Structure 1
Amino acid sequence: MGAAILVAALAWVAWIGVRGWLAKEQLDSARALTADLRSAVESGDLDAATATTERMLAHADSASGLTSDPLWRAAEIVPVAGANLAAARVISAELTAVLSDAALPMMDSAGLLVDQLRLPEGGIDTALLASQQPAFENAQATLAASADRLGQIDPDALAAPVGDAVRQLDQAISDLRPIVGALDDSAAVLPSSLGGDGPRTILVMLQNNAELRTAGGITGSFVELRADAGRLTLVSQADSSEFERTVSPIIPIPSPTLALYGDQVGRFVQNATMPADFDLSARLVSQWWQIRTGRTPDTILSVDPLVLRSLLSVTGPIATEHGTITADGLVDQLLVEPYMSLDSAAQTAKFRTTAAAVFTQIADFDIDPVAFAAALGTPVADGRVSVWSAHPDEQEVLAQTALAGPAARQRAAGPDAFAVYFNDATGGKMDSMLDVAITSGSASCRADDRQDIVVSVTLTNTVEPSAVATLPTAMTGGGHFGARVGDISTNVSVSAPEGSFFGGVSVAGEPLLSVDVEEGGLSVSSARVEVAPGESQTVEFRFVAASTDPIEPHVMHTPLIDDAAVSEARVECD
């Protein structure tokens, strides 16, 4: 009897061992195809991407079959080894689900949209786009369910190869979810926004990062588009000089926002994106436009020139009466050269003709939708694109997305997210000469076990002192707004998670005057920093965590011309 039990046990172990080896072989084969899949996706070859995904699915499905029989499940109760066996089963099952229920349906939808989205007479088929929303929604649900199941596994408690596999699949799903979510939200909102249910008005506001504001830059140029049955036409344009200043805000401004930025938020159209709350920014711009034209926009789209640069990488160079605009040259052509060599009227004319040329090209929709979406991926992730709708059902969807503006992006990034915002106080376009570095870290220094969090911001004025005299007033502000000619004056704000306590602001260990408020539930501390030509200033913002839960701060920031250097730093206790 004992011998029979021993033989059965050995057979069971051998069965599990053989199937485990075969399952590993299948998963390794699937993983080996990821480079081919990435290459196909990046090159826009949907047929190759689909074929590669199907091959990956065959391997994943085989691994799932090898790890799901009753004998395998029974072995999962064995100490130590059982946890690894269970993890292998979950990895195989979730990879199969992601490939079969998310990746392949998404590729089918992408192929359909590439082939049929653009109408022969111009514009896009809004009904076709809307019809793909259920596939996007199902893919999003599949990814969420897989992420939840993987989240129940502790990879650190597993053998290294198995733990690494859990981390890799979990990271891949994390990378996919915002992309699929964006497609899902787009299919839910875009058809009606593009006039699928009747004509709509879209107001595009172009921010200028050479003069920074919280969401990007001053709102200097505006383009009104009419959307009807998926077709866009340019209706009118305006620049900030065409809006009259007012003696009081055009709509009520919340008191925390007034404390941070003053009533200029609502008195000058250029300052509409000072608030981190894009809903407030959009309502300000909508009111400004209604006062100027008598028309109220249905949708407000905020972009900056670097979004246009990404679109130019798809459309190719665009000819204007001021010359050909290229992706590589756009920043200098729009954000530097005009202020160095043109007067105000010529600057405005160049912005208007460039914006008109780019949006006319896009309005024709003669663009590969997959390439178009891929080009927008990085600008959206960087917070360079924000969208608002005057229609409550659409705004409810948008408010939960990465397109909802700075404050919404911070909340969506999780309880450890901090945001650093910049608002120029120079009155010129010196932010094209500004370099930014941001560090963050936390330490346990307090008796109550709440962590101290420090966000340090270093601003560098890259202008050589000897070059200041050569800079025109359009660049320097001419000293008319309180900053010395050549200096860069910036209001720096750090927004901490809800419930955080203020710990003070300092430069070189000396306290710096700050404004501390709760804005939209977030703890925001703001201070002004002056940086002379060729010099740097580091300002340190300190907060105390809302609870005793450990914090690993991660930082997002105002979209800049040159991206900030963001890193972690050790925090020393006082």
Structure 2
Amino acid sequence: MVNAADETSARRSGRSAGERRRRWPWVLGGVLGVFVAGAVVVGVLGTVLAREAFEVRDDLVAARASIETLGDAVKAKDAAAIQTSADELTARTSGAADIVAGPLWDLAAAVPQVGANIDAVQRVTLSAKTLVDGALDPGLQIMSAINVENLALEGGGIDLEPFRGAAGSLPAIADAFAAAKAQTDPIDVDALLPAVAEPVSQVRAVIDQTAPTLDVVNRYLPTLLGMAGADGPRTYLLVFQNNAEIRATGGNPAASIIMTVDDGRFALADQTSSATFKATGTAGVTFTTLPPETLSLYPETLTRYSQDYSMTPDFPTTAQLFQDLFNASYGDRFDGVISIDPVVLSNMLAVAGPVTVDGEEINADNAVRLLLSDAYERYPRGTDSDVFFAAVSQAVFEHLTAGKWDPAKMLDALTESARQQRVYLAFTDPTAQALAVELNVDGALPEDTAKTTQLGIYLNDWGVGKIEYHLATVMDARCDADARTMSVSQTMTNSIPDSIQSRYTLTAKAGWYGLPNTTMLIDTLFFAPPGATIVSVDPGDGDVPGLDRAGTEKGSTAVSKLVALAQDETRTVSYTVQFPAGELGPLDLRHTPTASATPVNIDASCAAMFPSS
């Protein structure tokens, strides 16, 4: 899950994936921009201060140049050049920090109006010295040990040895960033002149993003290594959610692969589909017991058929359903269950490059359309499309696990996929699961609103087809702080073209209700957080009598309305939630990911209700 306010903020800031890589050297570069702006301010306070200002500027200009030569030296593995650049960088940042720590700067920082700007320049300059002193040497050790070009193992996998070695260097780097964050946290950006505020904000953003990430990696590196098979083989079920037949957390999860990883080496152990369980006689049988108040929210197929296991927005429940099914079918238990969709594959192929299957190139631009739409036109029978999907899965798996890609770029691709609510993880190891929770990719319905206030609108295909590839959605939310209510709406558009002819794609059940088979039949679920109540829903009644549902899951009350969305129709559904008295955790607005991105717009009126979001 992704905090919806963070999602909106990230989208507005326009930060690219490349800007988030190798962050700590760019902090020093950013300090230069802060200082140049600040120098204009301090210049009015006297010639001595102005002279010192230009001395600091010169030091930071030279420091930035040293960062560039240092990076080149590390790539070239030129030990002498690395040492020279590191010494120059250390000397320059120390010189700048010594100057801004002087009494004249402290005096200037107390001057009304301009003082806050001086203080900001001091803080970011001192934070640069903190990072160089604490993170430079251990950072160089890691950069020298982890050669991106040599990480890939022959036959598929990633060499874990450099990461084992990084365990000794990470604490110092994490501590340096934590200290730098403490130095820059007191800066009130709103009190700064625009020329100073912008570069200060840029530096703080990098530090604020990197410090928590380093803290997580530092604390969980042994766990991450264990997940990669450093302590023995691990087995995972990788579920592919098909957004063309939509489900609450993505889509029909009929296809999956079983993969093993042993000391960083990946292997595809098996591939399965919904047909697998027909052969074992376990399809149509319930192996996981859920509370009656939860079952009342969904069709009775939720616990009986693997195609419907992701109808619940609670991914731990989906994972448990799969674990119990495989245990009943084969006696298998997995170390973890991982869920992704074709958009995730597309994002990964953008980093790893295209793959060829039966002479056809699959790349970042065509993967989603090919897997969610074109394949059904080409292979109108389910058995034929299953063969195609199996071939694609194997080829893409082998291509991605070859590891011949930039890990930083791949991490960015997966981070973006998680932000779009397309990646969910569930592990049997408690520490690994704690990491999934901390990274907000566990996909769980929370049991209270202490840490997060989660609500959302989720979609489940009722019509049986692959028509929702052509579904686009937009979410909007606004609040009434005095009434302690929040209204959430979702606008849905059915843009299926006349050219789609596959009976496998079109809605099979539409004829039951006298509707064209280009109509989407969508069970629309409205969830309130624990302790809150749903006071109104639009539509009040679903479009098909007798299919309205209501219930409770993990303490969250919810209702379901069947919505019929005709070809070329745009329709908005909404609901209003009443919150109980008391403080609310940060807002976490969830939605079902479609084949395209879902814009999420949160009105400023919600800031008063969720100040920590």
User: Partner of 1:172 in structure 2?
Assistant: 206
**Per-residue deviation, 1:157:** 2.7
Does 2:247 align with 1:210? no
Provide Cα deviations, 1:389-426, integer angstroms capped at 9, x if missing partner.
22223223233223322647x989x7466544322222
Question: 1:479 maps to which residue?
Answer: 510
Q: In structure 1, which of residues 486, 489, 492 is the aligned counterpart of residue 521 of structure 2? A: 489
The aligned amino acid for 2:493 is T
Cα 1:12–1:439 change in 2 (3 A) is closer
Q: Does residue 1:362 correspond to 2:400, yes or no? A: yes
Verify: 1:404 aligned to 2:442, yes or no.
yes
Identity of aligned residues (%): 24
Give the C-alpha shift of residue 531 in structure 1. Answer: 0.8
Alignment of 1:4-403 (within 5 A): 15-16=48-49, 18-20=51-53, 23=56, 61-98=94-131, 101=134, 105=138, 109-110=142-143, 112-113=145-146, 114-119=148-153, 123-133=157-167, 135-136=169-170, 138-176=172-210, 180=214, 184=218, 187-244=221-278, 249-255=286-292, 257-321=294-358, 323-342=360-379, 343-403=381-441
SS in 1 for 2:303: helix
Q: Is the CA contact 2:316–2:444 (under 8 Å) kept in the aligned structure 1?
A: no
**TM-score (normalizing by structure 2):** 0.76
Corresponding residue SS for 2:247: coil
- Report which stretch shifted further, 190-199 or 25-34: 25-34
Task: Give the whole-Å Cα distance in 1 for the aligned partners of 2:566 and 2:44.
Answer: 77
3-state SS of the aligned residue for 2:267? strand
**SS of structure 2 residue aligned to 1:211:** strand
Q: 1:424 aligns with which of 457, 461, 484?
A: 461
Bigger mean CA offset, 490-499 vs 258-267: 490-499
Q: State the superposition RMSD in angstroms.
A: 4.2
Are 2:487 and 2:574, in contact at CA under 8 Å, matched by a contact in 1?
Answer: yes
Please give the alpha-carbon distance, in whole angstroms, between the structure 2 residues aligned to 1:195 and 1:213: 32
- Which residue of 2 is the match for residue 536 of structure 1? 570
Secondary structure in structure 1 of the residue aligned to 2:297: helix
Partner SS state of residue 243, structure 1: helix
The answer on whether the counterparts of 2:134 and 2:175 sit within 8 Å (CA) in structure 1 is: no
- d(CA) in 2 for partners of 1:350, 1:544: 48
Task: Tell me if structure 1 keeps the 8 A contact 2:551–2:559.
Answer: yes
C-alpha change, 1:102 and 1:305, in structure 2 (3 Å) is: farther
CA drift of 1:281 comes to 1.8
| Residues 478, 224 of structure 1: alpha-carbon distance in 2 compared, 3 angstrom cutoff | same
The code of the aligned residue for 1:65 comes to D
C-alpha distance in 1 between matches for 2:204 and 2:588: 19
SS in 1 for 2:164: helix
Contact 1:276 1:407 in 2 (8 A): yes
Aligned to 2:27: none
Conserved 8 A contact 2:287-2:321: yes
> Do the aligned residues in 1 keep the contact of 2:472 with 2:494 (CA within 8 Å)?
yes
User: Quick one: structure 1 residues 367 and 153, their matched pair in 2 at CA, closer, same or farther if it must change by over 3 Å?
Assistant: closer
How far apart are 1:85 and its partner, in Å? 3.0
Q: Say if 2:233 and 2:260, in contact at 8 Å, map to a contact too.
A: yes
Deviation at 1:310, TM superposition (A): 2.4
| Alpha-carbon distance between aligned partners in 1 of 2:64 and 2:93, rounded to the nearest angstrom | 9
Task: Mark the CA change 1:367 to 1:158 in structure 2 (over 3 Å): closer, same or farther.
Answer: closer
Distance 1:475 1:516, change over 3 A: same
Q: Aligned-pair distance for 1:218?
A: 1.4
> Would the alpha carbon gap of residues 212 and 55 (structure 1) be closer, same or farther in structure 2, given more than 3 Å must change?
farther
For 1:565, give the aligned amino acid: P
Q: Which amino acid is the alignment partner of residue 277 of structure 1?
A: D
C-alpha separation between the residues in 2 aligned to 1:158 and 1:152? Answer: 13
Shift of 1:182: 7.0
Question: Does the residue aligned with 1:209 lie in a helix, a strand or coil?
Answer: strand
Secondary structure at 2:310 match in 1:
coil
Query: Cα gap change, 1:15/1:216 in structure 2, threshold over 3 Å: closer, same or farther?
Result: same
**Counterpart contact for 1:213–1:422, Cα < 8 Å:** yes
Distance of 1:274 and 1:58 partners within structure 2: 59
Alpha-carbon distance, 1:227 to partner: 2.0
- The amino acid of 2:392's aligned partner reads T
Q: Distance in 1 between matches of 2:283 and 2:186?
A: 56
> Residue type of the partner of 2:519?
D
> What is the match of residue 19 of structure 2?
none
More deviation in 523-532 or 541-550? Answer: 541-550
- Give the match's secondary structure for 1:477: coil
Question: Residues 408-446 of structure 1, C-alpha deviation per residue, up to 9 Å, x if partnerless?
Answer: 7x989x7466544322222111110101111222234xx
Q: Secondary structure at the match of 1:404?
A: coil
1:21: how far off?
A: 5.9
Residue 52 of structure 1: how far off its partner (Å) = 10
Residues 453 and 553 in structure 1, CA contact (< 8 A), matched pair in contact too: no
- 8 Å CA contact 1:440, 1:553 repeated in 2: no
What CA distance in whole angstroms lies between the structure 1 residues aligned with 2:197 and 2:604?
A: 28
Q: Assess if the C-alpha contact under 8 Å between 2:535 and 2:576 holds in 1.
A: yes
> How far is the alpha carbon of 1:238 from its aligned partner?
0.8
Distance 1:264 1:144, change over 3 A: farther
267 and 178 in structure 1: CA distance in 2 versus 1, 3 angstrom threshold: farther
1:503 equivalent to 2:531? Answer no
Aligned mates of 1:520, 1:25 — CA distance in 2: 59
Letter in 1 for 2:336: T
Query: In structure 1, the residue corresponding to 2:563 is in which secondary structure?
Result: strand
Deviation at 1:533, TM superposition (A): 0.9
* Structure 2 residue ranges without an equivalent (≥5): 1-42, 607-613
Q: 1:481 to 1:272 in 2, by over 3 A?
A: farther
SS in 2 for 1:236: strand
Per-residue deviation, residues 187-222 of structure 1 (Å, max 9, x unmatched): 333322232212221221111111122222111211
Contact 2:338 2:424 in 1 (8 A): yes
Residue deviations 1:305-345 (CA, integer Å, cap 9, x gap)? 12222232333332223733222221122110122231110
What is the rounded CA distance, in whole Å, between the counterparts of 2:603 and 2:475 in structure 1?
9
Counterpart code for 1:429: K
8 A contact 1:440–1:455 mirrored in 2: yes
Residues 505, 512 of structure 1: 8 Å contact kept:
no
Q: Is the 8 A contact 2:149 2:404 kept in 1?
A: no
How far, CA to CA, are the matches of 1:55 and 1:273 in structure 2?
56
Indicate how the Cα distance of structure 1 residues 277 and 228 shifts in structure 2: closer, same or farther if over 3 A, else same: same
Unaligned runs of 5+ in 1: 1-9
Q: 1:478 Cα shift? A: 4.3
Any conservation in 1 of the 2:153–2:402 contact (CA below 8 Å)? no
Question: Which stretch of the first structure deviates more once superposed, 343-352 or 297-306?
Answer: 297-306
Assess, with a 3 A threshold, how the Cα gap between structure 1 residues 204 and 107 changes in structure 2: closer, same or farther: farther
**Aligned-pair CA distance for 1:348:** 0.6
